[in-house]
Structure 1
Amino acid sequence: MLVSASIKGKNLTFDYYYNKETQMLFYKNEQITLSKQESQLFHICYLSKGSFVPMHTIEYYIWGEEYVNDSTKRGLIYRLKKKLNHTIFEYLGGFGCKVDGL
């Protein structure tokens, strides 16, 4: 029973496909519509190959030198996690984000 549950969990991520050239994300052959910032966040995390990307790196990649409050950052992370049903995107409080399983 445990083996089939873990296999089933891993199959969830196989339903996702990301084209890094076009920066388009698909779930079961359906495109997931991401905002520009959601797409940037997903892309930088995807490129890290399953390692956490530090928040200061994410902030600079998305907003550059512009000051952004914590609420804005949390909102962006929340929206992306929600669109991905909390499956392949992970946030570790204050440390960073990662994409895993693709």
Structure 2
Amino acid sequence: MGLPQNIVIVEDEVITQRYLQDILMNNQVNVSGCFDNASDTLEALKTIHCDMILMDINIKGSMDGIQLARKILETYTFPIVFITAHNDDATLEELLELAPYGFISKPFSSKDILATLKIAYKRYLIHSEVSKVKTNEEPTDIVINKYYTYSQNVSVLYYDGQAIKLNKKQDQLIEILSKNINHTVGYDTLISYLWNDDTVADSTLRTLVYSVRKLLPDLPIISHSKVGYSLQSLQ
């Protein structure tokens, strides 16, 4: 899985803009546009092709890169990778609120750019696949067996009509398995969805599955060796 076809660069330093353009163009990526401020970026996104945005935090104008990203995400689902010269806790915390697909610290090399963009785009494609919903249908309850039901409306697992209290990661695991009932969800997809991080070990996922099985031993989570896990409807 490679790089996106069309990338928009938002960067107010001309030299950095040109450096990024050279890196991308040398790797057969189309630079749809280069902008140094929020208003030009927002206007251009209405008409140009964009698969990903490479966003510097410090740009010209009253709106910085983080504020611009928030504005963009109100309308679009473009994955955004941030460029920052600031690694302080306050900046990182503000970035993490946006659940970015990646960020790059200045100074950077072409290898840093390409590796980060490839990982970010892979995460985006996996997340997009997992998040597909049938827009012409209302969410329905998923009946797993005579005891368990998963409500898509409130994202809660019920046992014999009683809501089950789980921690955040357990909830997310049940959510993705329930939405893919009777289908195997691969290790890479699960890890990306749960941790948004390719560096998480398979053992971390196994530990999470074990914790759910220990808590809910009669919930039919099936292991598929070297592939992934599925939640099986036994009706």
TM-score scaled by length of structure 2:
0.36
Which range is displaced more, 84-93 or 42-51? 84-93
- Note if contact 1:90-1:99 (Cα within 8 Å) is conserved in structure 2: yes
SS at match of 2:230: strand
- Note if contact 1:26-1:32 (Cα within 8 Å) is conserved in structure 2: yes
Q: Any residues of structure 2 matched to 1:42-81 within 5 Å, and which?
A: 42-65=174-197, 67-81=199-213
C-alpha deviations, 1:1-49, integer Å up to 9, x for none?
Answer: xxxxxxxxxxx92111110121111111222111111111111111113
SS at match of 2:229: strand
Query: Are 2:166 and 1:34 aligned?
Result: yes
The CA deviation at 1:70 is 3.1
Percent identity, aligned pairs only, is 27
C-alpha deviations, 1:56-75, integer Å up to 9, x for none?
Answer: 00000011125212332211
Instruction: Show structure 1 runs of 4+ deviating over 6 A.
Output: none
Unaligned segments of structure 1, at least 5 residues: 1-11
Return the index of the structure with the highest Cα Rg: 2
TM-score scaled by length of structure 1:
0.77
CA RMSD of aligned residues (A): 1.9
SS at match of 1:40: helix
Q: Which structure dedicates a bigger proportion of its chain to helix?
A: 1
- Note if contact 2:222-2:229 (Cα within 8 Å) is conserved in structure 1: yes
Q: Number of paired residues?
A: 91
Report 1 or 2 for greater relative contact order, CA contacts < 8 Å, sequence distance ≥ 6: 1
SS at match of 2:166: coil
- Note if contact 1:46-1:99 (Cα within 8 Å) is conserved in structure 2: yes
Unaligned segments of structure 2, at least 5 residues: 1-143
- Note if contact 1:15-1:27 (Cα within 8 Å) is conserved in structure 2: yes
Query: Are 2:154 and 1:22 aligned?
Result: yes
The CA deviation at 1:53 is 0.3
- The code of the aligned residue for 2:205 comes to K
- Note if contact 1:14-1:101 (Cα within 8 Å) is conserved in structure 2: no
